[in-house]
Structure 1
């Protein structure tokens, strides 16, 4: 029997009993849609977690700190949890460490980070903000998003990017008047602003000996992001400001916060950008093995996924139960078909149909039921997913249903396989029927 004849006969047999076939396919539709929707909700939860964390920063960026929590040296022998090959070595987060990070496989970019809290000035208005100094060429790579203008580049020197939530105010107003006054709206991109460590800047208490540093604003960051209250500028400029500040403090107060600074340049923090989120944990562990403390947003993402893992398993199990019930329905349909077509099977054997042909016929019918149920099931699950997302949006929830392409294709294939498996025992039963006994059956 040719494949074409086999398919035509299987389809014709199913259409002879439309209601029974419809009800059996309906069971597969419900089972397929249930498991797809349940799994899609779990996938949507994970994607929701990723979106939330991406608002805080890049999932591909690792934060590296010196093992003692500061910029100083650390004796590895004091921490038995560290890699034993590093015991007794001094670990410094300095230029050599930065270069060693660059040599790690899968690392795209590395930048030291320095933070200062300074004053900004634009005309008669001032603002205070957290200053983040880093290698300007790595700004975009490190996940700093820009919603106006542009990000810093390797050619930028006297340029900065300001967070959208940084508020400028008139320093001559009292605190109560500032709170009640309307917030000034400034178009800063392309304008020059002054940066200073003089907290009396803009008032009669300003220190005339402090010369502000001037920068051009080339971009702005979103007002609702994790860096909305920050200002990003080239690391070398931040180091210049810090050096000038310490010299000023030493002259004015006779002491400096930099007296304990080590001779070698050490950093408080280093950012490491990895080429793919799948490699973050590997690179992070490598850095830890070198003796440094390292963390990333993927740590929190994995913790969130573990928290919801049991829920996702329960949702998947509920969908799987529906598909098992559908499989029982297919088996029942095929067994009934054998009882009703016993004489037909006997005639097929007498006229020369092989046992293999009979087996393939029933398996093909079962596969048709599974395949049709899978196709309709993904259409139903697609509509259900859209409905779930619409309701979630109306309720202001970030938890949505997400169905990737592999889940669509996998559900069709799985439903078809379930159909074939469900039809296997009935097909074997049909093969074992005696031809003469089957012909005599009314």
Structure 2
């Protein structure tokens, strides 16, 4: 029999008991639908994370943080001996930070061409052109500039006193559109170490869109403005405080070749070096773990559906015993009988996978569109669901394989029937 004839015969045989076949197919549809939806969510979120994280720098940058415990922080091994040098660099939000000495150490490592320390600026307010002052929870860091998507204008000039403002601030600034806000003169209020407030003027260079990562959700100063704010923030004391940095960005000449060696040297100095790939891998690892857990529930549904296929075909074999005997009496081999019933199992799996995958893709695409254009429209570039053709093909093949394996037992029983005994069956 040709493949087309086998498929046609298998389809007509599965439709002999429409209700029984329908219930079996529904179970497969549930599993296929869930697998399609969860795998698409994983692909979409991973795609978005890749786009967002890759925007924070280039492939030859290493992000360095302190690995030593902050002074006074408890550990599982008991108290840590006080180290004045460590204490000097551990005052930022209770976390261990980098010192000027650490920056010099990083710069001295072979293969590192430059080091840019990242400082934390705690501004108090942003003053609109009309004089109204609005509280600022935090300022974005200039190092995040590459990850910021703009609704209008440009990123701040590193050497000028410029700033971007979030799109959600337009009404407060008195701007009707994002383009109207570009060029506005605003003020950034900040207190120094003794609580004295000062105001730094800045020009709005662009209007940012907020991403899930948080980039673009706060006013972001230029490097020059950020340095001025940080310098004033640390002023006011009779004695200068030691500098401390939340992290540093090291530019490496050839990260692919020397990355592991540089990371090892940083570890010896109680520092951690992470590439963009390292950060991306950690985030995607969590997303993939959650996706696999959800896929596990879908596989349970498919396992239950496989028993439905076994039951459906066993009943079909029982009902068609005389038919099987007649086919074998007319010369059909056991292998062909096995193939016929196996193809019926595959046909059931094919119907369930096509319907389930189709519903999953439709739900994912429509749901993604409704969310990103509705409740999550302020999140720039967000993708919750992505269609992965290779993933969909693998899901379909998995379901067909499960269906074929489930149909093996009934098919073997049909193939092994004695034609004489089968013809006598009542």
TM bucket (normalised to shorter chain) is 0.5 to 0.7
1:420 and 2:408 equivalent? no
Does the alignment pair 1:150 with 2:150?
A: no
Tell me whether 1:270 sits opposite 2:248 in the alignment: yes
The 1:149/1:183 distance shift into structure 2, 3 A limit, reads closer
TM-score by length of 1: 0.59
Distance 1:195 1:431, change over 3 A: closer
Structure 2: runs of 5 or more not aligned: 72-83, 88-98, 253-259
Aligned counterpart, 1:162: 164
- Tell me which residue corresponds to 1:435: 419
Q: How many residues align?
A: 369
- Cα deviations by residue, 1:226-260 (Å, 9 ceiling, x for unpaired): 6655442235x7557877999x96xxx8x4526x5
Alignment correspondent of 1:234: 223
Q: Which residue of 2 aligns with 1:218?
A: 205
Query: Residue 272 and residue 335 in structure 1: after superposition, are their counterparts in 2 closer, same or farther (change >3 A)?
Result: farther
The 10-residue stretch of structure 1 (328-337 or 381-390) with the greater mean CA deviation from structure 2: 381-390
Asked if the contact 2:40–2:387 (Cα under 8 Å) also holds between the matched residues in 1, the reply is no
Distance of aligned partners of 1:273 and 1:411 in 2 relative to their CA distance in 1, 3 Å threshold: farther
CA distance, structure 2, for counterparts of residue 228 and residue 392 of structure 1: 19
Report the alpha carbon displacement of residue 332 of structure 1 after superposing the two structures with TM: 1.8
Of 340, 348, 355, 1:361 maps to 340
Picking from 348, 353, 362, the partner of 1:374 is 353
Secondary structure of residue in 2 paired with 1:93: helix
Tell which structure's C-alpha radius of gyration is larger: 1
Gaps of 5+ in 1: 76-89, 169-181, 200-204, 207-211, 275-281
In 2: Cα distance, 1:245 partner to 1:32 partner: 57
Residue 25 of structure 1, CA deviation: 2.5
Per-residue CA distance 1:339-390 (angstroms, 9 max, x = gap): 2323332333343323222211111111001110121223344566689889
Is contact 1:35-1:323 (8 Å) kept? no
SS of the residue corresponding to residue 119 of structure 2 reads strand
- Give the SS at the match of 1:343: helix
CA distance in 2, matches of 1:218, 1:91: 32
Note the aligned Cα RMSD (angstroms).
5.8
Q: Structure 1's 286 and 164: CA in aligned 2 closer, same or farther, altered over 3 A?
A: farther
State the shift of 1:94 in Å.
Answer: 2.0
User: Is the counterpart of residue 140 in structure 1 residue 145 in structure 2?
Assistant: yes
